[in-house]
Amino acid sequence: MEFINLKKQYITFQKEINEKIQKVLDEAQFIGGEEIQQFEEKLAEYIGRKYCISCGNGTDALELAFMALGVGDGDAVFCPDMTFIASIESACTLGATPIFCDIEKRTFNLSPSDLENKIVQVSKAGKLTPKVVVMVDFLGNPADIEVIQKICEKYNLLLIEDAAQAIGAVYNGQKCGSFGDISTTSFFPSKPLGCYGDGGAVFTDNQEIAECIKSLKVHGKGKSKYDNIRIGMNSRLDTIQAAVLQVKLKYLNNEIEIRQEKAEKYNKELMNYVDIPQITINSVSSYAQYVLLLKDVKNRNKLQNYLNERNIPSLVYYPKTLHSMKAFEKYKIEDNYPNSTVYSQCNVGIPFSAYITEMEQNKVIKSIIECITDGI
Ligand SMILES: *Cc1c(COP(=O)(O)O)cnc(C)c1O
């Protein structure tokens, strides 16, 4: 059994994907060109944003966003304590200080009340300037977006939506990737909209920010690539990847619908045995991962072994909180993060994709119930 069945997805769209890739090879346009432009336009329309700027990966997308917002020394950047390090990493490279906030117990997303606490704390301490909030649609589940937007307005902070896991997800009838001053995503193969290598994109409705990011991603170009007006970077989506993504984007909504049905089946059959994921109200999750919570770390490890013995893959998303990582040692973080800590010890992702079969799901469900009712 595959954890995420990318092989089956490829076989499903094989003919169309191969033709698209062949077209790029025939035209020998490997960087830039029509495929890139078309893909950016189609994705901007899908998401409901004025501008979509493709780039090398989701981490670059965030770095471009931080650079465009002028993040640097002395700035405080807030983000959830439970996310992939890339959500905050490049803000730190640019000299900002990360301020981690606890998550909500059941949606696993940034806790608005802890965010507000941390903003007030940082302001009172007076050493750093609160500047940007990064909200993450964790595991594809939309953040508590409206509440976080209000907090950003109240304290005059800029907002970035890290939608790396949430393309296809919906909040209040609006697509994830369309919120905040800037939103970003990743096309890493296992994400809800994945390519066949690395890729990413930045979204905004603000023309000035869009122009700045278009310049930053090409070495800070001015009128030309050889007339540079700022220090930037080199970050491009390959043309072949844009071709693959154009095909996959056409089928994304259909896949998101199927994911709802598959998640519903897991929910229904597992809810009496484990904590099933709770989706944010008025939202549709893209279910980048289907993650359960066990009672404690011992139960989680026992379940993983039990599944492993039956050739059922499982993965922990993620095993460590950000605040406890060596990478952030120098910030001397003293706060406690009870919810993200419990989450890191109890979570386990089980096989999931639009291509998982009913038989496979039944096997996973049966094994989990057996393991749980076996006295753990
Ligand atoms: C995957 C991911 C990223 C980074 O994307 P890459 O394309 O791997 O650089 C950033 N944030 C989150 C939440 C992610 O899941």
Residue closest by Cα to atom 14 of ligand 1: 164
pLDDT of residue 190: 96
- The whole-number pLDDT of residue 369 equals 97
- What pLDDT, on the 0 to 100 scale, is given for residue 363? 98
pLDDT value of residue 68: 98
In contact, 101 and 77? CB cutoff 8 Å: no
> In this structure, is the dihedral angle defined by the CA atoms of residues 132, 138, 140 and 142, taken in order, positive or negative?
negative
- The region, left, alpha or beta by phi > 0 then psi within -120 to 50, assigned to residue 307 is alpha
Per-residue model confidence (pLDDT) at position 325: 97
Taking a C-beta distance cutoff of 8 angstroms, is the pair 180, 135 a contact?
yes
- Pocket residue to mutate for ligand 1, from 160, 186, 238, 317, most atoms within 8 A of Cβ: 186
pLDDT digits (tens, 9 = 90+) for 60-115: 999 999 999 999 999 999 999 999 999 999 999 999 999 999 999 999 999 999 99
Q: How far apart are CA 371 and CA 376, in angstroms?
A: 7
Token pair recorded at residue 84? 């992939």
pLDDT, position 375 = 61
- Look at ligand 1, atom 3, and give the residue with the nearest C-alpha: 58
Residues in the chain with pLDDT values less than 70: 375-376
Structure confidence at residue 374 (pLDDT): 82
Ligand 1, pocket-test mutation among 4, 55, 59, most atoms within 8 A of CB: 59
pTM as predicted: 0.97
Whether 87 is in the pocket of ligand 1, judged by its Cβ within 6 Å, is yes
CA torsion sign, 315 to 320 to 321 to 325? negative
Give residue-wise pLDDT tens across range 110-133.
999 999 999 999 999 999 999 999
